[in-house]
A and B are shown apart, each in its own frame.
Chain A
Amino acid sequence: MGKNVMRMTKWKPTGLALAAIATTAAVALAVPSAMAQRDPAYAAARAAGQIGEQPDGYLGFATPPTPAIRALVQDLNIKRKAAYTASAQSTGSTVEQFAFTSGCNLIAKTKPGEKYQTPGGVWKTRDASPPERDARCP
């Protein structure tokens, strides 16, 4: 008698647990990636040549940053790493490989006046000529 009751009570929570899992999954999917606009402080620091693109696909400091700029860049680099990680998984590559390929493109995309880092680690200001990139860049 007692055993039967125990079995009945044991079944119910599993159903509830499955429902809970389903709802959390639905919530996680429903939350959209925040398509926030570029921070004006980021655009300003970029235009001023305080921050620039590195060959590894991340942002770096061409000049010693203020705490605000440091925080901004760290935040963007964390988001970039998350994006690279997702893309690396879907393309069957490593995060470093995908980040590096993105770095090639991001340096190519810099506008005159913006900073980028050469493969040798030197910060250069982009001018009208093509940027100095890694030999492996397409």
Chain B
Amino acid sequence: MKRTKIGARRPTIDVRHVAVMIGAPTLMGALTGCVQIETPDKPIEINLNINIRQEVVYRLDGDAKKLIEQNSEIF
């Protein structure tokens, strides 16, 4: 009696599983075909040094010295 009950239930579950198992890969396949995420292999670098030229440093030197002298508590 028990065996027949289990036997009767099994096919219904299997049918659902089969449906999911067929459906899922096809969906996945469709998605991977459409959505492609590529991460850059190198980090984005912003080099600030380009903006600092020697002539600028020379021009600002006097003001920098003054600032340091006048704000000795933070330098």
Pair B74/A97 contact, Cβ less than 8 Å: no
Query: When A102-B64, A105-B65, A105-B68 are in contact, do A96 and B74 touch as well, CB less than 8 Å?
Result: no
Residues of B within 8 A of A (CB): 48, 51-54, 56-61, 63-65, 67-68, 71-75
Interface string of A75-93 (1 = CB under 8 A from B): 0100110011001001101
Selected interface stretch from A3-11, A15-23, A31-39, A62-70: A31-39
B55 nearest in chain A by CB position: A136
User: From residue 79 to 134 of chain A, which have CB atoms closer than 8 A to chain B?
Assistant: 79-80, 83-84, 87, 90-91, 93-94, 96-98, 100-102, 104-106, 109
Partner of A79, one of B48, B56, B63, B74: B74
Residues of A within 8 A of B (CB): 35-38, 76, 79-80, 83-84, 87, 90-91, 93-94, 96-98, 100-102, 104-106, 109, 135-138
Pair B73/A38 contact, Cβ less than 8 Å: yes
